Amino acid sequence: MKIQLLHTYNDIIKLENLLLAWEDFIADKKNKKDVQLFSRYLMDNIVSLHQDLANRTYKHGGYESFYVNDPKRRHIHKASVHDRLLHHAIYRILYPFFDRTFIGDSYSCRQDKGTHKAINHFRSLTYKVSQNHTRTCWILKCDIRKFFDSIDHCILKNILKQYIPDNGIILLLEEVIGSYSNKGNHPSLRGGARATTKQSVSLDNEIVELVPIGDEGSRLPRNDGVGLPLGNLTSQLFANIYLNKAVARTPSKQTFY
């Protein structure tokens, strides 16, 4: 029997959690213009978000779409401060629980993990398997093409339901997940910024390239109920939850005859 999350919907939406989520959120964003605007009426905005969540009237807004190079070129979809605050509130409750369910050899987007620890562990495994480089060992290097774009909403929600018995949390997560793919429409149709021609603009002192909706090659989900936006903190967690289900079934040792 799978372990289940004991927290409730109220644990996510209570003011204390929203305030703590705000502190997490602004840690490296205090100079961002949209964050400063939100901060001018901070308590009013947080109380308003809390009331929308308590009344079950919360609706996730749209996204601002742009490219960044870090150094790989990535298509980012940026939600409003209002919505990103909620993402952090959700993450504060869900991450500690789901992190315990992930396999030990998962290193991406996890606290106290990361690239350096992954490399060190990989190096120790190569020494072990190759018997200190005295025998040949084989390594499978692979990548999931457009992984975030290919995440199926239905499968993801079914996985979440296996661990989360609280229906209020499930409905809230479905709202966040569905904000990026809604009846085949691009999420920005729900109120986000929309570009009609390619243009470079300055966003928080960083030059980025806005792209038109449906531009060929742009990072948009083509099917209803598919894809997670790069830019949401919750997307990192959902991606790990989704992939962990598949990786956990992969044998750690294969014997050939």
Residue 124 lies in a domain: no
Residue 227 lies in a domain: yes
Residue 56 lies in a domain: yes
Q: What is the mean pLDDT of residues 172-176?
A: 97
Instruction: State yes or no: pLDDT of 184 exceeds 60.
Output: no
Chain segment 140-149, per-residue pLDDT in tens:
888 888 889 8
* Nearest in space to 94 (alpha carbons), one of 157, 169, 2, 159: 169
pLDDT at position 91 is 98
Residue 242 — pLDDT band, cuts 50, 70, 90? very high
Residue 185 — pLDDT band, cuts 50, 70, 90? very low
Residue 129 lies in a domain: no
Instruction: State yes or no: pLDDT of 158 exceeds 90.
Output: yes
Residue 228 lies in a domain: yes
Give the structural domain span for 53: 9-110+146-247
Please calculate the CA angle 65-67-70 and round it to the nearest 5 degrees. 140
Residue 214 lies in a domain: yes
* Nearest in space to 246 (alpha carbons), one of 161, 168, 178, 147: 147
Place of tokens 């919360």: 58
Residue 90 lies in a domain: yes
Instruction: State yes or no: pLDDT of 231 exceeds 80.
Output: yes
Specify the pTM. Answer: 0.77
Residue 82 — pLDDT band, cuts 50, 70, 90? very high
β-bridge partners, 199: 210
pLDDT at position 190 is 41
Domain count, the chain: 1
Residue 79 lies in a domain: yes
